[in-house]
Structure 1
């Protein structure tokens, strides 16, 4: 029996990697990354930041990314497909900010408000983001208690949060998601207040490559973690065959 491929898990903007732990496949070696940990300089681009980290990661792995982490996982698959066996994104959007050609996204006004909030207070902005992560989801009260127990070993520095939020505003991966470099699958939350569940359909990718989790918001953990983990384990097994 072939050894199980390891998993590289990339968390969302400003969020500790531990928020994904309950969602992730079991029985595999796990390597955690946050977007902010990838940065060395304010001018870093996603591709440069990922390339710098690749030598520290498994030679071949399945990448799982949540929100911005999903875009970074897809970016890794584009740059070094020989090291990425497959990508699964959770509540991620190929283009986070909407435009005349892309409506399955937050509006530019909402994104601008995030940037203004961040300049005033990173702590308050992260708290606001946590509220949006569970807004509208079933069992939001339970998820709120989960999030209150989450621990940041150390809050990211403001300049790191500003740069990675900038990545969210800049990245447009629609062509990559339509024609991926490696097998890819995308899970959306039916009640996600930040990434519309319609993104997969609007992008026009085959239905076999995306799924909507009923009643789930932007955070795939908490109450929904076991169901998300089951989906990811099944997909990991298929990729590993």
Structure 2
């Protein structure tokens, strides 16, 4: 599996992982802002953006590919599906994670009997079927759903539509199925600094996650951003940048002192 990636900036290492149906271009100004203080590695997930489709899209294979192109040790930031993948990387290779920031990400995206703060299985199943029937229409609906309720919905929708990838249907479907992974044990086992940012109006990752996720890991810091939907790094760019920087500087400051 070959992944496209690029680096920009100088400083402590930082990896950004985007969400489903998009490319790393979605990070936009946030990546530029972070690159003023960090050496940022942007990665396109397999089959999305500039990364070629992969025959093996198992979670194990995707994590292997991410670790192959990522720095030996870095701060990781994952949005939506990217957050789940970052959790899996942390579980596989904890020594390579200095800190983890999850943005609008759920360790268990599809609801289980013991995990209600997630998307209902029947809703997820309907989305999978819709993708198979009409890829373009499904992607457009998905973009609209991500922005619903946000104070900056129009700008976010424009941003999403400019970044939505033109990918092979099978690549999109395979990447979508990664959202079914249950990574609660990965979050529970994390010992490095970890934070979760949620949008109060998010239609995909319920804000109620803020009350359940800390039970998995008491070290987890959670922030719910008002008037934000699924793209808080767009609607609340300055606030998200500050929170990311604060967590990473906490780690980098300890390292420097040591």
Which stretch of the first structure deviates more once superposed, 109-118 or 196-205?
Answer: 196-205
Q: Tell me what 1:226 maps to.
A: 238
Q: Which runs of 5+ in 2 are unaligned?
A: 1-9, 254-258
TM, length-normalised to structure 2: 0.84
TM-score normalised by the chain length of structure 1: 0.89
Aligned-residue Cα RMSD (Å) equals 2.1
Of 179, 197, 204 in structure 2, the residue corresponding to residue 194 of structure 1 is 204
What residue ranges of structure 1 are gaps of 5+ in the alignment? none
Shift of 1:228: 1.3
Q: Structure 2 CA distance, aligned partners of 1:101 and 1:10?
A: 28
CA distance in 1, matches of 2:71, 2:130: 37
1:168 counterpart = 2:179: yes
Q: Is 2:30 aligned against 1:23?
A: yes
**Runs of 4+ that moved beyond 4 A:** 37-40
Q: Which one is further off, 23-32 or 96-105?
A: 23-32
**2: CA distance, partners of 1:178 / 1:166:** 22
Q: Give the Cα separation in 2 of the matches to 1:229 and 1:199.
A: 21
Go from structure 1 to structure 2 and tell me whether the alpha carbon gap of 1:200 and 1:222 turns closer, same or farther (over 3 Å shift).
closer
Q: Secondary structure at the match of 2:15?
A: strand
Task: Check the 8 A contact 2:90/2:186 in 1, yes or no.
Answer: no
Whole-angstrom CA distance in 2 between matches of 1:16 and 1:232: 20
User: CA distance change for structure 1 residues 42 and 55 in 2, over 3 Å: closer, same or farther?
Assistant: closer
SS of aligned partner of 1:52: helix
Deviations 1:54-85 (A, max 9, x none): 23221111110000100101111111122221
- Selected match of 1:159 from 158, 163, 170: 170
Aligned to 2:194: 184
Aligned residues: 236
- Find 1:114's aligned residue among 93, 115, 127: 127
Q: Is the 8 A contact 1:201 1:207 kept in 2?
A: no
Give SS of 2:163's match.
coil
Q: Write out aligned runs for 1:1-241 (5 A).
A: 4-24=11-31, 25-27=34-36, 28-37=38-47, 41-148=54-161, 150-152=162-164, 155-169=166-180, 171-203=181-213, 204=215, 205-206=217-218, 209-241=221-253
Residue aligned with 1:35, SS: coil
